[in-house]
Structure formats: C-alpha cells, structure tokens
Structure 1
Amino acid sequence: MSALSALTWQQARDALARARVALVPVGSCEQHGPHMTLDSDLAIATGFATRLAERLGDDAVVCPGLAYGMSEHHLAFPGTLTLRAETLLAVVRDLVESLEHWGVRRVLLVNGHGGNLDALRLAAREAVRDRPETLVATVMWSVLAADAIAQRAVGPRYGHACEIETSVALAVAPQAVLPERIAAPAPAPEAAPPSEPQESRWDLPVPFDSWTADGALGDPRQASRELGEEIVAVALERAAALARQLMQDKGDDRR
C-alpha cells in the first residue's frame, strides 16, 4: 500500500506501475455537531481508504483526498464550504484522466459524505460512458454497512455526528473527535421538515438546521471505538470485495 502524497516522484512511478486500483478519498468541509471537526468526513474517508489499502497491499495506491464536497444543506452552520455538483464532477473527471495517464484504470472513490453520493454515482456513470478503458466505482462506509448500523443505532434519528459516525471516527480518525465536547442531543427544532433523515420517501432538499439545532443527529454519548471497529469491519469486508472485483474485471484488457 502506498500513500501517493508521501512519495517522491520516483517512488510514485514505481507505486503507480504496481497499482491495479487507485483509492480516492472524498470528504467535505462542514459542521459535525459540537464535538467533531469540520474535516471529519475527509478524515474518516482517508482513514477508511488507508485500512482498505492495507488489505489490498501493493495493488492499491491511496491518492490525496478531496477536502470539499456538496454541503449546501449545511450552510446554516459557520465554517461550511461547499462545491457545486458540476465542480465536483469536473474534479473527479480530471483525477480519473490523470490516473489513466499513469496507467491506473481502476478507480475507487472512497466517500465520507452523504451529500456527495449522487454526484459521485454520476461521476462513475460518466466514466463508463466516456472512458471505455477505465472503471470507476464509489463506496461509502455508511452505505456498505447500513444493515449493521440500523441494528446498532440507539434511535430512529442518526447518521451525522451521531453515536455511529462518532464511533467510526474514533476507530479510523480519532483526531476528528473532541471527547470533552460530547453532549446530550439538542432538542429538535419545533418546525419539523416534511421528511426524516432515515425515512424520507421522496427527494426534497432539507436544510440540515431543520433537523437539528446543534448539527448532530442521534446520541454521540453512546459512541465507542469498539462500536466503530464493528461497523468498519463490515464495511471494509464489502469494500475489499468490490475492489478485488474491479481489479479482476479484464474488460477489454484494461489493465
């Protein structure tokens, strides 16, 4: 496993020549309640990608992560910085083209932010259409382990700076968690939106402050590294299976 940003160009040449898949962490710069840092999504995505690369060995190279994503629904909270969908798509497109230039034609976008899901799925579809020698896929830990998460969440509202995401951060990116700031959930705003984070049956953009006053869902007091390791183990197993499938897909002798 090689972290591309930590290599010299000569080392990068050798690592890219060996690599059969590039892992690209994608995060965001947005609030994560009172107890997690603005870069939590990128920190988790990078930590998860590193764990995944350790399983894949020299077949994988970890690219520098994207620190920004689609976070317009978090703009009520200070510090949030966001991209437009077309900007994120263009950046991913250019990165895929660059990796293809160095002979790496399998790209796995390791996402850490739910707001990026639609754009990254579209990026993968565009790559299949426009770059026939390259395969792009996208994964997110919370989607990979959704069944295990639903069993361990303490209530119906979870998914952001909650007991689950805080636990996962404690496992793979502990620097993103400020334990002394973990507090009881804030009361929900009085004017409830016409959808719930885990139960929405339609596509209706909802500002995040309509769901939570402090930027967190769920109860981070219930978080633990042990719980995070359980969730990460499930997600890693499934991500590794996909990565190996990508590497085995010969297609038209792509790599």
Structure 2
Amino acid sequence: MNVARQSDQIRLEFMSFEDVVTALKNEYTTALIPCGAVEQHGPHLPLCMDTDHANALAERIARDLGATLIAPTVTVGCSAHHLAFPGTISLRAETLEAICLDYCTSLAKHGFKRILLFSGHIGNFPVLKDMLPRLREAMPDDVEIDAFCDSIAWIDRWRLAVQNAGGNPDAVGGHADIAETSLMMVLRPESVRQKGFEVGYRGALSEGELRLMWANGIKSISANGIIGDPNGSSTAIGCNCLDAITDLLVRSFTK
C-alpha cells in the first residue's frame, strides 16, 4: 500500500461512509479538527503556510494518538490583524466558532466520542480558547471536546527545536520567521523565496505591542509582516520543529 493511500485512510474526506462506519466499529472514535489560515507570511512565503502546517501536524498527531481520524481542515482562520496585506482572508471569531460547532455536532452525531481541535495558526488560539466552554456545553455528556491554545509553550518548543538544529533561537518570533520558513522548506520547498528573506520585528513582544498588533494590525509593529527572522532557515530546523510541535500536541491530548 502506498503512502498516499495510507494517508487517505485516516482523512474523512477521502473515505466512504462505509469506511467511516468500519472505523467507528474498530473504535476509531477520536477525531481531529485541524485549523489553518490564509494570510500573508512576509515576502518570502505563501499564504497557505498555516494550513500546510496544520495538515502536516494532523497526520503525525493522528498516527501517534492511534485510533484517530482527521476531519477536513478548516482552511481559513481569524487573521484580521493581517488584512493590510493583500490576499489575506479572515473569518470573524463567531464564524470560526460556528464552523467548529457544526463540525463537532456532525462528528458527535455519528459516534465520535473525543474531538480535538488545534491550529497551525497561532492567531486562532485565543478564539479556540474562548469558544471551548461553549463547544463543550453544546455536546452530549459522553463526548469530550478539547483544544490546544498555549502559544507560549508552542513558541518555546520552536526556540528549543531551532537551537537543537544549530539555528539561532532568537530568530524565532512566531510569524514567517526561522521556524515557519524552515517548516515550508520541508512541506512546500518550491514556495520558499529565499531572495525575499528579510528581518522582521526582533525580540519578545511586550503586552502593549501585542495589544497594538491586535487592535491595529501586524503592520503597526512590522512593516514587512514578519515577526522574527527567516535567515538561517533549513530543512533540519523544519523537521525539528515538526517533531517538537507534534510531541507537544500529542502530550497535551494524552493527559
């Protein structure tokens, strides 16, 4: 059996309803809901970065958790703070919540007992955290809903992964930086425009700067839309970052 076919077998959209019935009978009662974004990632990365990341993580997480199927990725996320850059598409928070609620309701109706949400786009984390109690309240008592929303742990894992691969952890900023650029060198290498590498905002964002970014957009703190620095990116760093975040999410979902 080829790799593509193995992958198809855990992605709902590539299965028949009979395949899903069989999987549920075999106790595949956990479902992942990956969330992404379509938003600018500096002059050197494509808008699909976060969705590509979510798709890659979903495959790894499902395999590590076992008995888990992957729902279709929610491709567009909450990216209003990137709308100053053409091409970005953003959902309202209530729209993303409605989509996630409809996903969970559908999955629960068919017999999934554990539904796990995560995002390849850190900007979705506050929205997922806010909606989580309402999603739980809307589900039957025998259905567990969880979501990963810890951006600090995520960035810390990236910094350690970059350092362990010989890169500069200070180049991690969280957006179109050394971590995300290295990830795309692994996931979609032809899309990385190395001649477009530019330094963005460097250093930890203060609470005031974060408030400014959410209120006025990322352009208010970074003219090129980058937080961090893509210079020094490599496939080795990208692989380390994938491993690190997979491990973080799997550990979170197996507590």
Asked if Structure 1 and Structure 2 have the same fold, meaning a TM-score greater than 0.5 normalized by the shorter chain, the answer is yes
Q: 1:62 aligns with which of 66, 70, 82?
A: 70
Task: Please report the RMSD computed on the Cα atoms of aligned residues, expressed in angstroms.
Answer: 2.5
Residue 3 of structure 2: aligned partner: none
Q: What is the TM-score normalised by the length of structure 1?
A: 0.82
Q: Give the secondary-structure state (helix, strand or coil) at the position aligned to 1:137.
A: strand
- CA distance in 2: counterparts of 1:140 and 1:45, whole angstroms: 14
Matched residue type, 2:113: R
Q: Does 1:208 align with 2:215?
A: no
Residue 80 of structure 1: aligned partner: 88
Task: Please list every run of 5 or more consecutive structure 1 residues that lacks an aligned counterpart in the other structure.
Answer: 189-195, 246-255
Q: Does 1:96 align with 2:110?
A: no
Once structures 1 and 2 are overlaid, which stretch shifts more, 153-162 or 20-29?
153-162
Identify the structure with bigger relative contact order (alpha carbons < 8 Å, sequence gap 6+). Answer: 1
- CA distance in 1: counterparts of 2:190 and 2:35, whole angstroms: 16
Once structures 1 and 2 are overlaid, which stretch shifts more, 94-103 or 13-22?
13-22
In structure 2, relative to structure 1, the CA distance for the partners of 1:123 and 1:16 (3 Å cut) is farther
Q: 1:127 aligns with which of 116, 119, 135?
A: 135
Residue 247 of structure 2: aligned partner: 237
Residue 5 of structure 2: aligned partner: none
Matched residue type, 1:117: F
- CA distance in 1: counterparts of 2:130 and 2:138, whole angstroms: 12
Residue 223 of structure 1: aligned partner: 233
Residue 158 of structure 1: aligned partner: 173
Report percent identity of matched pairs: 29
Q: 1:4 aligns with which of 12, 29, 33?
A: 12
- CA distance in 1: counterparts of 2:87 and 2:12, whole angstroms: 28
Task: Please list every run of 5 or more consecutive structure 2 residues that lacks an aligned counterpart in the other structure.
Answer: 1-8
- CA distance in 2: counterparts of 1:154 and 1:170, whole angstroms: 18
Q: What is the TM-score normalised by the length of structure 2?
A: 0.82
- CA distance in 1: counterparts of 2:253 and 2:14, whole angstroms: 22
| CA contact 1:36–1:176 (8 Å) conserved in 2 | no
Deviation at 1:226, TM superposition (A): 1.2
| CA contact 2:31–2:114 (8 Å) conserved in 1 | yes
| CA contact 2:173–2:227 (8 Å) conserved in 1 | yes
| CA contact 2:39–2:89 (8 Å) conserved in 1 | yes
Residue 15 of structure 1: aligned partner: 23
Count of equivalent residues: 235
Deviation at 1:42, TM superposition (A): 0.9
